[in-house]
């Protein structure tokens, strides 16, 4: 078996940037699989007192990904997520940016290493072809440590596939 990877560079979470991201991975040897991402720029509303009391503010959108097998036979596809920014600026830790899959309730702090978002076996024009999901984001808030500022960070979504 051999692992093949395609990566999409993340985009800024800064609300000032409006970018519609719809990228497709380039061909993979004999097993071609497309990764499409929509809503790559994640924006957060200005936090309210209620958000600070709750301890977080939720982004207004998520990043939706779709996996679509184009050629080949059965393969295992894995979507991963990581930060490409060491922090969010102005003393805010990168771990204060959290993510979750739309079909799960648990939130995870983003890290600098790949975290598996989801994995599925794909059979072209059959099992799980195509498949996809949405990644939602939220920002942890703290009255005492979060100075008024604009925080930004980048993330990367990676498609890996293992083929026989």
Neighbours of 122 (CB within 10 A): 23
The tens place of each residue's pLDDT in the chain, 164 residues long, gives: 444 444 444 444 332 222 222 233 334 456 789 999 999 899 999 999 999 999 999 999 999 999 999 988 899 999 999 999 999 998 899 999 999 999 999 999 999 999 999 999 999 999 999 999 999 999 999 999 888 888 889 999 999 999 76
CATH 3.30.200 for the 2-145+153-163 domain, yes or no: no
Cα dihedral sign, 158-117-135-17: negative
**SS3 label, residue 141:** coil
Neighbours of 19 (CB within 10 A): 9
Q: How far apart are CA 146 and CA 56, in angstroms?
A: 11
User: For the chain, what is the largest distance between any 2 Cα atoms, rounded to a whole number of angstroms?
Assistant: 54
pTM exceeds 0.95, yes or no: no
Which residue has 């207004």 as its token pair?
60
The alpha carbon of 147 is separated from its chain's Cα centroid by a whole number of angstroms, namely 26
Domain ranges in the chain?
2-145+153-163
């Amino acid at each position: 078996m051999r692992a093949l990877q395609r990566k999409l560079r993340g985009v800024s979470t800064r609300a000032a940037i409006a970018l519609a991201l719809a990228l497709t991975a380039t061909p993979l040897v004999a097993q071609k699989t497309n990764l499409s991402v929509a809503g790559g720029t994640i924006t957060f509303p200005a936090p309210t007192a209620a958000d600070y009391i709750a301890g977080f503010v939720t982004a207004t959108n998520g990043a939706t990904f779709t996996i679509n097998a184009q050629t080949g036979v059965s393969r295992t596809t894995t979507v991963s997520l990581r930060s490409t920014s060491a922090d969010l600026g102005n003393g805010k830790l990168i771990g204060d940016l959290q993510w979750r899959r739309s079909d799960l309730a648990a939130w995870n702090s983003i890290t600098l290493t790949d975290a598996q978002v989801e994995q599925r076996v794909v059979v072209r024009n059959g099992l799980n072809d195509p498949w996809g999901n949405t990644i939602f984001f939220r920002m942890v808030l703290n009255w005492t440590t979060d100075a008024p500022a604009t925080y930004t960070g980048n993330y990367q979504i990676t498609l890996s596939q293992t083929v026989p």
